Structure 1
Amino acid sequence: MIGYFHTPVRKTYQLKVSKLHTLMIEECGVPFGIPVVFLHGGPGGSISEKSRRFFDPKRYRIILFDQRGCGASTPTRELKDNTVFHSVEDLEKIRKFLGIDRWIVFGGSYGSTLALTYAIMHPELVMALVLRGIFLGRQSDIDWMIEKGGASEFYPEEYEQFAQLIPETSRHQLVQSYFKMMTEGTAQERDEAAKRWAEWESGQVTLQPDFSGSPVALEWQKTIGLLEAAYFAHGFFPGKSDNFILDHAYQLQNIPMAIVHGRFDTICRPSGAYDLAKACPHARFSILEESSHASEAHMFRKLVEIMDDLALKFSD
C-alpha cells in the first residue's frame, strides 16, 4: 500500500449545515498549520484513511468531510438539497466554523468539480487549487462515462453487462433509466442497479481494472450509485450553463493551481483536463503517462510533491 504520511485524526465534528443535513468532519495535522481541505469524489464517495496521506501533518492543518448524503454524514443517501452549490455553501460553513481565513482546496474526480465551483464563487478565499482527475460536469462528460461511445469503447464486454440491466428500448437513455430504477424500483431492483452502476465506474479507476465489485461494499455501492445517478440525471449545475466551470474560469486567474491527470483515465477524459489547462494557462499542468483515474503510485507521488512544494511556498 502506497503511503507517505500516516496521520491520525485529531478532532471530529458533527456540523449541522441545514435543517436536514449534518456533516461529519475530521481535523488532522497541526492546529496552526497551513489550512487545506480535502474534497472526495463521487458524488457519493467518502473520506478514508487514505485521504489524509497527501499532506505533511507537521505542516498542514488538514480538514476532511463527508459530503451531503455520503459516508458518516446524515441522512444517508438523501437527495433533497443535495447539489454542488449546496456543497459550496457547506464549505463556507465549515471554514467559518473552524475559524479559517483562507485555505488550499484539494479535490479529485468530482472533488475537482466541487473545488473549481467553490473557487469560482469564492476566489478570494482560496490560497491554491490542487486538482486530480478533472471532471467538468458537462453533459458531454456524463455521456462519455455512461452512454455508449465513450468509456464503453475501452471495456465493451463490461459495458454490455452494465447496459443489459436496462430494457433494450430504454438503453439510449441509460442515466435516466438507471436513476428511475434506483428511485422507483423494488428494493432488489434498486440494489442491483446501484451495484451495476458502481461496478461499472469503480471497475475502471486503475490501470488494472477490476469489475467484480466487493461483497462487503454494498452500502458504498448503494450510495455512490444513487448519488451519481441523481447528479447525472439532473445536471451538475442546475439553473446554470452546462459549461459553468470553463465559462467562469476567468475567476481563477489569480489562484495558484495544479492540474494532474492520468493519460489512461477512461472515466474522466484527459481532454477535459486539457480544456481546463487552456482556460487557466497559469496552472501547473501534468499529464501522467503511467496513470489512470485513481491516485496510484505515479499520481500519488506527484500530488505529494505538489503539496510539499506548496508547504514551502506558504511557509515563507
Structure 2
Amino acid sequence: MPSTLYPPISPYASGMLAVDGDHRVYYEECGNSEGVPLVFLHGGPGSGCSPAHRQLFDPKRFRMVFFDQRGCGRSTPRGGLYANTTLHLLRDLEQLRKHLGIAQWLVVGGSWGAGLGLAYAAAYPSVCTGLLLRGVFLGRKADLDWFFHQVRVLLPDAWQALAQQFPSATADGALASLAHAVLKGAPEEALAAALAWEAWEASVTERRLVAPRHGVAPELARALVDKYRIQAHYLRHGCFGWHEGFLLKHLQRLHGIPTILLHGRLDWVCRPSAAWDVHARLPGSRLHWIEETGHNPFEPRMVQALATQALALAGHDGGFA
C-alpha cells in the first residue's frame, strides 16, 4: 500500500443539505459512485474537510462522502452556535445518509471525528458496516485537562509563548479563558485568542514550538475565529454529554461492528490511553499502534495505515485484519 497520498481528485457531486435551526450542511461525493460507501468525519470540533482528505482512500474502491459539520467550513451559517450540539451532528449525519440513498456505510473519523464516529455507531449501529478511527478523542474532563494543562510539561517553550500571546490563559484555566475570549470578546480579542489557540494546538500536534501567525488576512481571520468559536462551544459544554466518559459507557451498542483503531505512539493531542480504553472495552476491536507517528493524519505511516485498513474493512484485501 502507498505511504503517500492518492492523486488529487475533484468531487463528482456536491450540495447543501438543509437541516434544522437554519443550518445548511455542505457535502460532496468523490471517487467511484458504485464503490463501497465511506463517510469521513473531520476533526475539531470546528474544523472542516479539505481536498487532501479525498486523497487518503482508494478512489477506485470507495464512494467517499465528505461533509462539513454544522457551523464548520463551507456549511452555513459558519460559526453558528444555535442548535449546534453533538446530538444535532448525529442527526445531520443520518439525514445525509438517507438523502444520498445509502443503506450502510463505512464510518471513518479522526480525533474529534473518531469520538463522533463512536457516538454515531452507538446511536445507529445497523447502518455502520465498520469503524476506522484515528487518534481517538473521548471528550472526558481528563482529556481536556491533558491538552490545556498537563501537556505543558512537555512543551514549556510553547506554553510560555501561549502565556505571552494571551496572558489570561493560566495553567489551570486556559480553556475557560480562551473560550470566553473567542465567544464573548471584542473582535480583536477574539482573533488574538484564536491565533494563540491555533499556535498552541499546532505546537502540541507537531511536538515543537510553533509561533503564532501575524498579519492574517481579514477573511482568514474570520474563518479562524469561527473555527474556535465552534470548538470553544463544544469543549466548554463537555461535548454535550461526553465529559464523564459517556462514549465508553455505550460501547456495548457497537457489538458486532468491525472496528479498527489507529493511534500514533507519539500522539500528544489525544493520548494513546484513549485508544487503549476503547479497545479494552470493545471486544473484537483491533488496535494498531502507529510507530514514530503523532496526531497528524498526513504523516506517512498514518497515511499508509488509513489506506490499508479502510480496504481491510471494505473486504478488498481478504477481510478484516
Structure 1 CA distance, aligned partners of 2:49 and 2:183? 25
Task: For residues 5-37 of structure 1, give each alpha carbon's deviation from its aligned partner in whole angstroms, at most 9, with x where no partner exists.
Answer: 432210111111113200110111122211100
Contact 2:198/2:212, CA 8 A, preserved across alignment: no
1:203 is paired with a residue whose SS is helix
Give the 3 Å change call, closer, same or farther, for CA 190–212 of structure 1 in structure 2. closer
What amino acid maps onto 1:167 in structure 2?
A: S
**Structure 2 equivalent of residue 305 of structure 1:** 308
Q: Distance in 2 between matches of 1:171 and 1:144?
A: 11
Q: Is residue 236 of structure 1 aligned with residue 239 of structure 2?
A: yes
Residues 17-28 of structure 1: pairs in structure 2 closer than 5 A: 17-28=19-30
State the match for 2:124 in structure 1. Answer: 122
**Quick one: which amino acid aligns to residue 29 of structure 1?**
G
1:291 and 1:209, CA in 2 relative to 1: closer, same or farther beyond 3 A?
farther
Contact 1:182 1:226 in 2 (8 A): yes
Change (3 A) 1:158 1:61: same
Compared with structure 1, are the counterparts of its residues 242 and 187 closer, same or farther at alpha carbon in structure 2 (3 Å cutoff)?
same
Report deviation, 1:184: 1.9
1:101 to 100, 103, 118: 103
**What are the equivalent positions in structure 2 for 1:173-212 lying under 5 Å apart?**
173-206=173-206, 210-212=210-212
Quick one: which of 112, 130, 145 aligns to 1:110?
112
> Which residue of the partner structure matches residue 78 of structure 1?
80
TM-score (norm 2): 0.91
**Relative to 1, partners in 2 of residues 1:19 and 1:85: Cα closer, same or farther, differing over 3 Å?**
closer
Conserved 8 A contact 2:265-2:291: yes
What's the TM-score once normalised by structure 1's chain length?
0.92
Q: CA separation of 1:208/1:171 partners in 2, compared to 1, >3 Å: closer, same or farther?
A: closer
With over 3 angstroms needed to count, the CA separation of the structure-2 counterparts of 1:175 and 1:254, relative to structure 1, is: same
User: Is the partner of 1:237 in helix, strand or coil?
Assistant: helix
Is the 2:312–2:318 Cα contact (8 Å) retained in structure 1? Answer: no
User: What secondary structure is seen at the aligned counterpart in 2 of 1:205?
Assistant: helix
Letter of the structure 1 residue corresponding to residue 234 of structure 2: Y
Q: Are 2:24 and 2:70, in contact at CA under 8 Å, matched by a contact in 1?
A: yes
Deviations 1:227-274 (A, max 9, x none): 212211111133x66211100111112100110011111110111111
Measured at CA, do residues 241 and 268 of structure 1 come closer, stay the same or move farther in structure 2, by a change above 3 Å?
Answer: closer
Per-residue deviation, 1:156:
1.1
CA distance in 2 between partners of 1:203 and 1:21 (Å): 32
Partner Cα separation in structure 2 for residue 187 and residue 288 of structure 1:
41
Shift of 1:53: 1.3
Counterpart of 2:307 in 1: which secondary structure?
A: helix
Superimposed CA distance per residue, residues 104-141 of structure 1 (whole angstroms, 9 cap, x where no aligned partner): 00000100011110001111110000000110011111
Q: Secondary structure at the match of 1:9?
A: coil
Cα distance in 2 for residues equivalent to 1:213 and 1:256:
42
What secondary structure sits across from 1:38 in the alignment?
A: strand
The answer to whether the Cα contact below 8 Å between 1:33 and 1:58 also exists between their aligned partners in 2 is yes
- The count of corresponding residues between Structure 1 and Structure 2 is 312
Question: Quick one: which amino acid aligns to residue 245 of structure 1?
Answer: L
Q: Out of 46, 49, 71, which is 1:47 matched to? A: 49
Percent identity between matched residues is: 36
1:203–1:213 CA contact under 8 A, matched in 2: no
- Residue type of the alignment partner of 1:236: C
The aligned amino acid for 1:237 is F
Q: Distance in 1 between matches of 2:21 and 2:235?
A: 25
- Deviation by residue 1:253-296 (Cα, 9 ceiling, x = unmatched): 21001100111111101111111110113111011121000111
Q: CA shift at 1:312, angstroms? A: 3.1
d(CA) in 1 for partners of 2:6 and 2:73? 24
Partner of 1:133: 135
Q: Is contact 1:7-1:53 (8 Å) kept?
A: yes
Q: What are the Cα deviations for residues 38-61 of structure 1, in whole angstroms up to 9, with x where unaligned?
A: 010000111111111122111111
